[in-house]
Structure 1
Amino acid sequence: MTLSKNYCLLVASAALAIAGCSAQKATSNATDNVAAADTAAANTAASARDPVASAMSAGPKSIAGDATIVMANADGSMKTLREGKNGWTCMPDSPTTPGPDPMCMDANAAKWAMAWMGHKPPPANTVGMIYMLEGGTDASNVDPYATAPTGDNDWVKTGPHVMVVGSQNLLKGYPSGAKPDTNVPYVMWAGTPYAHLMVPIG
């Protein structure tokens, strides 16, 4: 994790001030957490009402504005909600995950995603990019098909990020594992054909 508290050696006369600052920071963090939860709930509600808006929230306006918008049907097939013209495809939030996770992907990444969803080998050496500016949640960082957390893997929650898919060589030297530090670049689903790099933004 990135360093979240700065520890300082202060004289005794400043003890009350430190306590006051700590309480204020805790209150601020609690407020931020509530605000984040409210935002997630609002995004989920918005997704249910307007899947196109949800899908477009995943990427920069310059990309999402001209992207094709698709949504997965219950049987796994894809429904086109809007035709695009720039080669990118955006999908709205998935109702099966606990947080908002819409995505926008380029053509190479779309092929990779279809292979993953279809349990098929992804295209070899075809690097693609996926924007997830609303963040994302996954049941497991080690199992591409996990649908719920288990005793040895928990929900992986990552803030706004991009994913780089399609290159195993690109992943060398980056950390992985069931519970990665999601504040730094890390590998999701390492050791599987769908291993990819997660790169936090901001």
Structure 2
Amino acid sequence: MSDEDLIKSAMAAAPPAVAKDAAIVAISPDGQMRELRKGTNGFTCLPDNPSTPGPDPMCGDRNAMEWAKAWIEKKEPPRNKVGFLYMLAGGTDASNTDPYAQKPEATNNWVETGPHVMVVGAKGMMEGYPRNAKPDTSQPYVMWPDTPYEHLMLPVHMPEAATR
């Protein structure tokens, strides 16, 4: 993909008012980050990862990006830093119980997520939300429960008129 295509993909993750001033960063297959555009609003957007089965551009605030970096690097997420991520173009289908699953398996509770937002870094603050291995993804639920990377998934259902 060209840099222009990567920027367009990344911007699809968040509302236009957020995406227009966000930094855009591409991650190479070896994990190296390359800034495609500087941002001014504290959000960073990443384009779709072509190696995953579905669209998954995301856009997060500083705390969320620290959390995502810890997850990618298999490190402990930062403590006492709640973050917010947009995935309005949808999310790659993923295991709801294994943060590192790469494909559906009989035991990893693969789910289809669709457009959503995520609250990360709030471990211990999600009481009352479903923590089922096989959640109803049309309602809020905890993804990757009982792992260091558990987070709240909030589906976004856009009225048809709003998507035109």
| TM-score, normalising length: structure 1 | 0.73
Out of 144, 147, 165, the residue aligned to residue 102 of structure 2 is: 147
Give the direction of change, closer, same or farther, for the CA distance of 1:169–1:47 in structure 2 (3 Å limit): farther
Which amino acid in structure 1 is aligned with residue 50 of structure 2? P
SS in 1 for 2:18: helix
Out of 176, 179, 186, the residue aligned to residue 131 of structure 2 is: 176
Is the contact made by 1:185 and 1:200 (CA closer than 8 Å) also made in structure 2?
yes
Give the direction of change, closer, same or farther, for the CA distance of 1:168–1:142 in structure 2 (3 Å limit): same
Gap runs ≥5 in structure 1? 1-45
SS in 1 for 2:39: coil
Which amino acid in structure 2 is aligned with residue 145 of structure 1? Y
Give the direction of change, closer, same or farther, for the CA distance of 1:147–1:47 in structure 2 (3 Å limit): farther
Higher RCO structure (Cα 8 Å, ≥6 apart): 2
Alignment of 1:10-89 (within 5 A): 50-89=5-44
* C-alpha distance in 1 between matches for 2:71 and 2:50: 18
Aligned-residue offset at 1:189? 0.6
Residue aligning to 1:3: none
- Choose between structure 1 and 2: higher helix proportion: 1
Give the direction of change, closer, same or farther, for the CA distance of 1:82–1:49 in structure 2 (3 Å limit): closer
Which amino acid in structure 1 is aligned with residue 44 of structure 2? T
Is the contact made by 1:137 and 1:156 (CA closer than 8 Å) also made in structure 2?
no
Measured on the aligned residues, the alpha-carbon RMSD in Å equals: 1.7
Which amino acid in structure 2 is aligned with residue 89 of structure 1? T
Aligned-residue offset at 1:48? 9.1
Q: How many residues align?
A: 157
| TM-score, normalising length: structure 2 | 0.90
Is the contact made by 2:3 and 2:36 (CA closer than 8 Å) also made in structure 1?
no
Out of 144, 154, 160, the residue aligned to residue 115 of structure 2 is: 160
* C-alpha distance in 2 between matches for 1:71 and 1:153: 28
Verify: 1:131 aligned to 2:131, yes or no.
no
Q: Which runs of 4+ in 1 moved over 3 A?
A: 46-49
Cα distance per residue 1:154-190 (max 9 Å; x no partner): 4321121110000112221211233211000011111
Among all aligned residue pairs of Structure 1 and Structure 2, give the percentage whose two residues are the same amino acid. Answer: 59
* C-alpha distance in 1 between matches for 2:40 and 2:20: 10
Cα distance per residue 1:40-67 (max 9 Å; x no partner): xxxxxx8997010000000011110010
SS in 1 for 2:112: strand
Gap runs ≥5 in structure 2? 158-164
Higher Rg of the two aligned structures: 1
Verify: 1:99 aligned to 2:54, yes or no.
yes
* C-alpha distance in 2 between matches for 1:196 and 1:47: 32
Cα distance per residue 1:110-132 (max 9 Å; x no partner): 10011111111111121000001
